[in-house]
Amino acid sequence: DAGVIQSPRHEVTEMGQEVTLRCKPISGHNSLFWYRQTMMRGLELLIYFNNNVPIDDSGMPEDRFSAKMPNASFSTLKIQPSEPRDSAVYFCASSLDRTTYEQYFGPGTRLTVT
């Protein structure tokens, strides 16, 4: 298996622009997670899907952030409008089950908002 695939790997954008991050989970995995990692706040869970349905979005920082999973093989995380404080590395991860199986992480998208 190719593992979790994320695109783009790097994104540089100006404040106010819309940003869309993409994720393809491992085939057969039922759970998908979006994380954000910064030096200040560490690793934060933004949202978690199970069988394409959002289960817990309490980590989504603001209404500017939205996530979708239209099918089992694709998810997006959108920031609109983006702000400099959104600069971070965003990881997507997938697993067979949220709590009893390990999560497999993608390589991350490094977002810089100027």
Partner 1 sequence: AQSVTQLGSHVSVSEGALVLLRCNYSSSVPPYLFWYVQYPNQGLQLLLKYTTGATLVKGINGFEAEFKKSETSFHLTKPSAHMSDAAEYFCAVGTGGNQFYFGTGTSLTVIP
Beta-ladder partners of 4: none
* Identity of the residue, 50 or 76, whose beta carbon is nearer to partner 1 in the bound complex: 50
Using the rule CB under 8 A, is 102 a contact of partner 1?
Answer: yes
Where does this chain touch partner 1 (CB under 8 A) — which range of 22-30, 59-67, 68-76, 97-105? 97-105
- Closest distance of CB 112 from partner 1, Å: 14
Q: Which of 5, 20, 30, 56 binds partner 1 (CB under 8 A)?
A: 56
Q: Cβ(108)–Cβ(90) under 8 Å? A: yes
CA distances (Å), origin 111, targets 20, 26, 70, 86: 10, 23, 23, 8
